[in-house]
Structure 1
């Protein structure tokens, strides 16, 4: 029986969890700390490419710097037998892509909750100058308690991304806006656009732009025609539908500029009013308590 492969004398490798264009993700076990991990390994065929190694290092630094509850944690990174690797938090759940592949649209409350978690993570990332640039169902992973975390910062842009790479088109075309495909530099709004496309897909169980041919896909995105969400899902409340459709607007001036703006628009007006009322009531009570304390002191 062949002994399991061990990276850096510490991480025992198991089966393959997933494969991408430049790396595979393996099940792993941290023998030092006695915990499950996921290990992302560059393929040998691309490990010698400086650009690929640079992107891999960017992923490790970007995710590790965030330390956010809705971002998959990075535990370690290194090189083993010429192959670069990143050791990641091992989540027991599946991805949103897996859930959608099983069939059926998701309930509106679930999609809204997913959007909240992702927007919380994106807000933290954007505040640190990090753009994810590849938000899609496969990069949204479920936790054991039903929340989600975003993964794969492999094409992220941060302050230390080399300038020569800044204006190149990274990401998955089906989740990119037309102006980005045309060559506009990446912005935080692109991540929010991609999340809108993901939410549309989660609510309808179909791609917003299903064209398989890249040319036809680019044309469809450029045209920007979408069947309205409320036509496909009459049960969706107007606030959620408008938030998603605004984030996917063909005109970038209509899109959300920040994750906080998009998150604030998710609630129906009645819920926002109730929340505002609760806050005002709490402030009023606090003011009365302080006033009473001042009178006692006098």
Structure 2
């Protein structure tokens, strides 16, 4: 739950706009969304439910000093917030002259005085400007307005994979393979540039309304060499074992592992390893074997098991050596799935059961950092001060 949510709910109740029951349910919904990696504020939830109007929500935020104090940043007019991450808040915005819709990522105010954070933010903008791929979100502008650093990116009309899971439940094997193939294609370009994404997860994989897949959020993007000695950052449910070990190597095989964990989640309804704490999740990645997807969701073809479990190998040497190899493996799998599609009965069964399975998924949206030299015990996840995407959440 984000800062200010409890105060917003209390103020709405004090003004007689909501009851005790509505307040409790809205706060519970905010917690549920956060557990799934979706960042929604209390006022957004209440507006979506039709309990209060947009004007009332704006009044609540203004009363508490939570409204956007600078609706214009550079050449862009802020329209609405899309999502919040550890590094920045993403807004839908309009170019004041061109009236072009963009996703505007603004560095968190608390980081605007941090030279390292600014350097990372600027680096993300520079790298994105050089990348051009149909399955990568591309940058259109970057700059500084006073103490605000911003990055303007293409606006994706659609949803991220976590939002898809919440709306429609686990997806069919062939559709999940198609999405994974497109992400592999995006990773191929990054790999060709010597780059590692380091934050592949459902919230950072966007699905446009026309079906086009986009990989987003490059805040942790780095070179394999540049990752050495950096603190461990990311979402525990999708982090490869080698990144959880001190001094572990960082390359595209780690992104492939994270993609496999995301694939598993999209197919089954929960990540391969869950737990009540970060420590339990990390232990799963390091020591436990994942339950085969076909056991977690009866009817998943054995061929899908083989590919996903190979990509989830504890040692990176057991996974595809490149994004291209991974993509080609998925394409072979897709050809097999087209010859032997899932039965309609299975699809109907899981359309209902998927919602129940999804409710068991404990996916922390928190960005977890392991201080250098802290040993093997992992700390609890930290909730971002404000709050992918899913994008639609862009990044």
- 1:296 match: none
Instruction: Give, in angstroms, the shift of residue 166 of structure 1.
Output: 4.9
Q: Structure 2 matches for 1:186-225, cutoff 5 A?
A: 186-225=250-289
Q: Kindly indicate whether structure 1 or structure 2 has the higher relative contact order, using CA contacts under 8 Å at least 6 residues apart.
A: 2
Report what 1:176 is aligned to: 239
In structure 2, what is the equivalent of residue 281 of structure 1? none
Please tell me whether the aligned partners of residues 240 and 268 of structure 1 are also in contact (alpha carbons under 8 angstroms). no
Output the CA distance in 2 between the equivalents of 1:106 and 1:69: 23
Instruction: Give the number of aligned pairs.
Output: 270
The separation in 1 between residues aligned to 2:332 and 2:103, in whole angstroms, is 39
1:12 aligns with 2:80: no
Does the CA-based 8 Å contact 2:274-2:280 persist in structure 1?
no
Tell me what 1:90 maps to.
Answer: 155
- Residues 22-71 of structure 1 deviation map (CA, whole Å, 9 limit, x = unaligned): 21101100123221101000111111111111211222122221111000
Of structures 1 and 2, the larger Rg is shown by: 1
In 1: Cα distance, 2:160 partner to 2:147 partner: 30
Provide the rounded CA distance (Å) in 1 between the counterparts of 2:211 and 2:271: 23
> Hey, what does 1:144 align to over in structure 2?
209
Contact 2:254 2:316 in 1 (8 A): no
Q: Does 1:38 align with 2:97?
A: no
CA contact (8 A) 2:181 2:331 kept: no
1:1-298 alignment, distance < 5 Å: 5-8=71-74, 10-102=75-167, 104-158=169-223, 163=226, 166-183=229-246, 184-268=248-332, 271=335
CA distance in 2 between counterparts of 1:147 and 1:21 reads 26
Aligned equivalents of 2:173, 2:309: Cα separation in 1: 15
Partners of 1:130 and 1:79 in 2: CA distance = 25
Secondary structure, aligned partner of 2:223 = coil
The alpha-carbon distance between structure 1 residues 21 and 166, as it changes in their structure 2 partners (threshold 3 A), is same
- 1:215-253: CA deviations, max 9, x gaps? 122112111321111212343333332111111111222
Aligned counterparts of 1:38 and 1:137: Cα–Cα separation in 2: 18
1:160-214 deviations in Å (ceiling 9; x for gaps): x8x5865432222221122210121311100000000000000001121111311
Q: Distance in 2 between matches of 1:243 and 1:195?
A: 12
1:101 is displaced (CA, Å) by 2.3
Conserved 8 A contact 2:180-2:263 = yes
Aligned partner of residue 77 in structure 2, secondary structure = strand
Q: Which runs of 5+ in 2 are unaligned?
A: 1-54, 56-67, 339-395
Kept after mapping to 2: 8 A contact 1:95/1:140: yes
* CA deviation vs aligned residue, 1:112-168 (integer Å, no higher than 9, x gap): 110011000000111111110000011001113112101100010038x8x586543
CA pair 153-3 structure 1, distance change in 2 beyond 3 A: closer
Q: Which moved more, 1:195-204 or 1:251-260?
A: 251-260
